[in-house]
Structures are given as structure tokens and as C-alpha cells.
Amino acid sequence: MIRAISLLVGLCVVLISGCAGRANSPSPTATAAGDAPGITQESPAGEEERDYPVQAFPTQTLYALLAAETAGLRGDLDFALRTYLEQARVTGDPGVIARAVQIAQYAGDEAALGELGPLWADREPDNVRARELALFALLGQDKAQDALVHATFLLENGDGQPLRQLAAQASALPTDQHDALLAAYADLERVHPDNVDLLFGRALLLWQAEQLPAALALSDRVIQLQPDEPASQLLQAQLLDETGSKEKALAQLEQAVRDHPENSGLSRAYVRMLFSRRDTAFAIEKLEQLSGINPDDNSLHFGLALAYRDVDLPDKARAELELLLQDPDLRNDAHFYLGQLAETAGDTARAIQHYRQAQGSALLPATARLANLMVRKGQLTAARLYLQELRAQHREQAPGLFQIESELLMRERYYSSAHELLTASLGAFPGDINLLYARSLASEKMGDIAAVERDLRAILDQDSDNAAALNALGYSLANHSTRYEEAQNLIERALALQPNDASIMDSLGWVLYRRGQPVEALAQLRRAAALLTDPEVAAHLGEVLWSTGDTEQARAVWREALQQHPDDPLIRETLERLRAGPL
């Protein structure tokens, strides 16, 4: 009954706006996403109501709004929102727009909010709430310059925080747009030289533009103005780290963690920075100290668990992880790593128990390990049924779960079954890049190179700079055709995108060899072997060495690879094809 009354009150407010020409101006804090759509938002105490020109709604509009409110009473938010959105466009009435915003927020309709925000700000340019909504709508549409107009208005009205958020989302902008935004921030700084939010945002933009000394100097000013603010301390520590002052960065971040034990973001950043040193003993020493001071900081316990695991102290790692099973933010990761510890200890039943409980971002890696355990126990069919159940429960994760199942089938050499599964999955998720790539691998195993090329080119049609697809297509053409020049061009494009990728270096070495350039091929293959211990790289390097007459070095490369991968089929096939004899 309370719900019904509130809906009718909402309609009355809208009707008063249209018929009597007066509407309450929503406050900056009005309408959280969880508010019921019928709860009206009052102006803040003391805020004067503003008059609008009297504009009687047409009868059709009145009936439409009444129908929308009635639909809301029945729980039909879709109809209510569509109707209010249409009437917001038709009437341009601030009360109708505000009501449409309220319903859109309750329904979680980002697309509707994206349209309503700028519309509302256009009708009520002095309404802070309208400006906020317009800003975030435009941020979601990557319209940085348009968003800056609203962020500037909010800055002038005492809220500089949007300038931080706008800068944080600017990293994906094209260079010319990013440069224009950076110049606009510099102009604003001349008017507001000591605004911390503005300075923080410009430091972020400078960092994104790789102007690190300037970004660091600006972060110093931010710290001087706001020395105890966690985000400012984190920004400066990260910039110190990137400019080579790693010890100073770590010390500053450690002090920030001590000063702000409630801030888990600082703790997580500190753990990441500690691990980037690749000194696990030092990491353990520091984390033990801080977790003793801040025993309720679970980010520190999580980092300590991973450090203990890395130095083979499973009991200590397990004890830390078990502390996290009640933490809603970390319990899924805790289950995943507890599963790993149990698996390493040979306790398969406990490992499966933990893997089954891992959800969220840990679902896919945990499920992959669980499915592998089941296959090792000879339970391939049971593993596939489990994956099917998960796909029904977690549709948003279904593409990844299809991939896991296809990898199981490929590993067991059921290539045709994997191909059929992936074809079915692409029927449900057409154009999914990862599924297309997986199917190309199955097609390659089946010898259908035309199908390999179709799927990889379908990926490149969507993402012309997909290095994995460029490399795979180039390698396939080099291996299964004489289109060597085309293959080399594709692989070189991939290497330009990822110059330190050993697998792409291997592909380039292989196509150079196929083109009769063994010296150039060896240079690439040696680089790849130095970066990646992989039987395929070893097979290729050995074959090129063999072709140049360096048979002893070739045998040494193959022998070392077989010690690590005794059953690798590619090395065995290479030895037989070249009649290399016993190693």
C-alpha cells in the first residue's frame, strides 16, 4: 500500500509540473539507483522553487503518463520507462525528464540515462543533478570534450571530483582528443591554480601521455595541498615507481597503508608493488609486519598467502587463505588458491570442493582446473555435463565455459567434437573472437586450412590489430601453403604490435626458414628460445640448425626439450622426418 501511494504521489508531482508550470528541482543527491521509482525527491531545505512557463499537457500526454504510472504499480518498469522517455522527448518538461531519470535509475537502464542526462541538462542548465547525470552519460559514450563542459560547471559549483573521473577515463582517447583535453585542463588550472581535483586530473592526463616528470611534479603539488589524501599518495607512489624511484615509492606507499588501515585500495597497491620487486622474502617480512599492525586488512593477508605459497610454505598459506573465506570480496580467490594448494598436496577431493565454490572472476580458472582434474580421473563425460550445467547457471560466462570444454576435447584429441561444440557455441554467441580463435585451432588439427583462414579473417574483420589472429594466420599460411610473402607480412604486423612475444618471433623465424633464409631464421628462433621454453620453438630451432649442417647443436636442442617434454609429438615427428636418429 505504501508503494502504491508513493507512485501516485510521483505522478502528481509530474502533473503539477506540466499543468501548473512548477516543478521541484532535484537535489544533487537525489535518486540513488536503489530508490523505488515512485518515491519523489524533495528540494533541499531552503532551496527556492523555480517557476517555469505555464504549459498545460495535452490530453494524450496526461493519459500516457497515467498509463505509465499504472504500469509502474503493476511492476511493468519497461513500459513505464519507455512511456516516460517518449514523453520526455516530446514535452521537454523538466518534471517529466526528472521522473524518467528516476525510473531509469531504478531500472538500471544505462542507455536511457545516457539520453536523458544531456536532455535534462539542456532544459535545466543550472541544475547540478542534471549536470552530473549528463556528465556520466557522456563519459559512458567516450565524449570527453562534451563531458568537460559539465565537469567545468560542477567545478564552478564546488565539486571538482568529476575532473578526476574524466581524466581517469581518458586513457583510451585518440591522441588528438587527449591532447585537447590536457590543454583544457591547463587552461582551467590558470583560473583554479590550487584546486586539488583539477591538479590530480591533469597529473593523470600527463601520466597517460607519458610525460612522467611533469606528472610527478604536479603530484608533488597535490600532496602539498592535500598531504593525507589516500588517492593522492597512491598517485605519487605509482609515479615514483615508474620514474625509477622504486624504494622511495614503496616506502611512501607503506606509510600510507599504516596511516590509512581502512583503505583496502592502498593495501592492494602496496601488495602489487611488493611483488613487482620479485623478492618474496622481503615481501613476507613487510607483509607480516603490516598485517600484525592491521590484522583486519584482508588485502595484506591475501598477499601474505601468495607469498607463502611462492616459497613453498603451504600450511602458512592455507591458514591465511582460510581467514578470507568470510570476506565477500576475497572469498572466491581464497577458494581458488585453497584448491590449488589441495591439488598440489594430492588431495583431489578437497581441491574439487574448493574449486566448485569459486565464483565471480575466479569461476573460469577454477572450473578449468576442476575439469582437468575430472578428466585425469577418466571422467570426461562428467566434466562436460558439469560445464553444461554451469553454462545454464552463468550465461554471462558461457563463452569461456565453451572454451574450457573445447580445450578438454582438443587435449584428448577429439578434434571433430571440439569443432562441433565451438560451432554450436558460435550459434549462441556469433562473432565471439575467442570462440572463433578456438575453432580455428580445431580446424587446423583437422587439416581444414580454409576454415582456419575463414575464422581468423573473421576476427581480423572485427579487430584488424589482433596480434594473436595475425600471428596464427601467418603461421598457418607458412605451414600449409606457399603464400610465404603474405604469411611474413601478417607475422611482422603481429610482431610490431607485440615486439617481445616469443611465439611471434618463432613464427617469423619459421616463415623465414620456409622462404630459404636460414641465417635470418636462426636469429629470430634463438631470440624466441631465450624468452620461452617451448617444445615447438625447440623443434623449429633444431630443424633450422640441422639444415645448416650444425647437427650436434640441433641434437642438443632437441635432447634438452625432450627431457622436459618427453612425449611431445612435434619434436618426435621432426626427428623422424629428418631421420635424425637417436639423440
Residue 251 DSSP SS3: helix
CA–CA dist 381, 145 (Å, integer): 55
- pLDDT in the model for residue 268: 87
Q: Is 338 helix (H, G, I), strand (E, B) or coil?
A: helix
Residue 518: per-residue pLDDT: 95
Q: CB within 8 A of 59, min separation 6: which ones?
A: none
CA distance 331 to 317: 14
Q: Where are the beta strands (DSSP E) in 105-201?
A: none
pLDDT the model gives residue 55: 52
Pairwise CA distance, residues 122 & 132, whole Å: 12
Domains in the chain and their CATH numbers? 1-141 (1.25.40), 464-528 (1.25.40.10), 533-583 (no CATH)
User: What confidence score (pLDDT) does residue 261 get?
Assistant: 84
Residues in the chain where the model's pLDDT stays below 50: 1-54
- pLDDT score for 78: 83
Predicted confidence (pLDDT) per residue in 431-467, tens digit: 999 999 999 999 999 999 999 999 999 999 999 999 9
Distance CA 76, CA 79 (A): 6
Span between the terminal Cα atoms of the chain, in Å? 85
Query: Cβ–Cβ contacts within 10 Å for residue 430, how many?
Result: 10
Residue 367 to residue 355: CA distance in whole angstroms: 6
> Which three cell numbers, joined as nine digits, stand for 150?
559539465
Tell me which DSSP letter residue 498 carries. S
Q: Which H or E run contains 47?
A: none
pLDDT of residue 148: 84
Q: What is the pLDDT of residue 57?
A: 65
The pLDDT value recorded for residue 122 is: 78
CA separation for the pair 231, 203 (Å, rounded): 12
Q: What is the model's pLDDT at position 26?
A: 34
Paired strand residues for 281: none
CB-facing half-sphere around the CA of 171: CA atoms within 13 A: 9
**Which pLDDT belongs to residue 227?**
86
125 bridge partner residues? none
Q: What pLDDT was estimated at residue 22?
A: 33
